[in-house]
Amino acid sequence: MVTNVSLEEIKSLVKLEKEADEKLELTREEAAKIIENAEETARKILKDVDEQDFSVFVHNRLSEIEEKKKSIEKETEQKAAELLENGNKNIEKTIRLIASLVLGE
Amino acid sequence: MENLKSQVKFIHEIEIQEILEVANKKAQQIILEAKEKAETKKNQKAAKISEELNEKEQMDLALAERDSKNKLLNIKYHLYEETISKSENYLKIFTRKKRAKYASGLNNLIIEAAMRLSKNEFEILLNSGDAELVEANLKQLEGKISLLKGEQIKLRVSKETLNAMGGAIVRTIDKKQIYNNTLETRLAKFTAESGQIIMETLFEGANQR
């Protein structure tokens, strides 16, 4: 089928093509920008992890360890007092035991 | 012609949508990967810190336990030493102040020593204060030992004196056999042999660890 197309119409089509190409170019730029932003966000996420502060966790854990040490010390003090009390209470009995062993009684 | 223009517009719109769709998908993927990587990194960092703190805890608590053990052992050791020293003083006083009871004990020590030796003639070595106690009972002692050994034995008190708080050394006349039953030797022997019993008696009632 042969159609008669006027010059004006051809010009209009070329213009339309040109505008569409320009729009495509802008879209490609927009797409590049979207990816660039995503990469920037990713870098920030990783940087935040590097800079993440664990000091509260460390402080709490160290306090916990210190408490356990104090608990051992306190328990030791109690046992030491108990040993001294019992030792001093039993010393005379023990001396008599040793003396009876030595004297062959 | 209008139809052609519509087609051109349509094709371009589709292409634009595809470009944006691909870009958005890629962006989402980049952020998702970053989040996953960040989570892994965070977990690794937390695990490392936790491990270091666990090691510190183990070390600190082991040291605290060791210090505690040493402190309690030190108390036990000093009380034990004090008890042995006081026992020695007790024995010194006992040998001086309770002569009759001591004399009986001394006889037993001499009998025990003589029974450990063969032969039948023995010499008894004593400190200067104990010689007269034994001299007074010498015949009785000879009788007891002879009875126990099943043969007649002879005893004599040596002129040689001991620098001891009490007890006796018994030896055969030819000096080839000797048995040391002085109180010092017996004290050393019993503290070495019966240390566990002494400690148990001394700290009876205390929570042992």
What pLDDT was estimated at residue A8? 87
Q: Looking at this predicted complex, what is its ipTM?
A: 0.77
Residue B124 forms beta bridges with which residues?
Answer: B157, B170
What pLDDT was estimated at residue A62? 97
CA terminus-to-terminus distance, chain B: 103
Question: Tokens for B163?
Answer: 């620098």
What pLDDT was estimated at residue A55? 92
* Edge-to-edge strands, sheet with B167-172: B154-161, B121-126, B167-172, B178-182
- pTM here is 0.75
- How far is residue B48's CA from residue B55's CA, in Å, rounded to a whole number? 11
What pLDDT was estimated at residue B111? 96
Distances from the Cα of B130 to the Cαs of A103, B103, B165, B185, in angstroms? 14, 8, 9, 17
Question: What would the DSSP string read from start to end of A89-102?
Answer: HHHHHHHHHHHHHH
Task: Using DSSP, state whether B180 is helix, strand or coil.
Answer: strand
Query: Tens digit of pLDDT for each residue in A13-56?
Result: 888 889 989 999 999 999 999 999 999 999 999 999 989 889 99
User: Of chain B residues 14-73, which have a CB less than 8 A from chain A?
Assistant: 15-16, 19-20, 22-24, 26-28, 30-31, 33-35, 37-38, 41-42, 45-46, 49-50, 53, 56-57, 60-61, 64-65, 67-68, 71-72
What pLDDT was estimated at residue B181? 97
Q: Is B123 left (phi over 0), alpha (psi -120 to 50) or beta?
A: beta
Which parts of chain B have pLDDT scores under 70?
207-209
Interface test with A, best of B52, B79, B180 (most A CBs within 10 A): B79
Query: Tens digit of pLDDT for each residue in A55-99?
Result: 999 999 999 999 999 999 999 999 999 999 999 999 999 999 999
Burial of B87 (0-12, 13-18, 19+ CB in 10 A): buried
Task: Using DSSP, state whether B163 is helix, strand or coil.
Answer: coil
Residue B144 forms beta bridges with which residues?
Answer: none
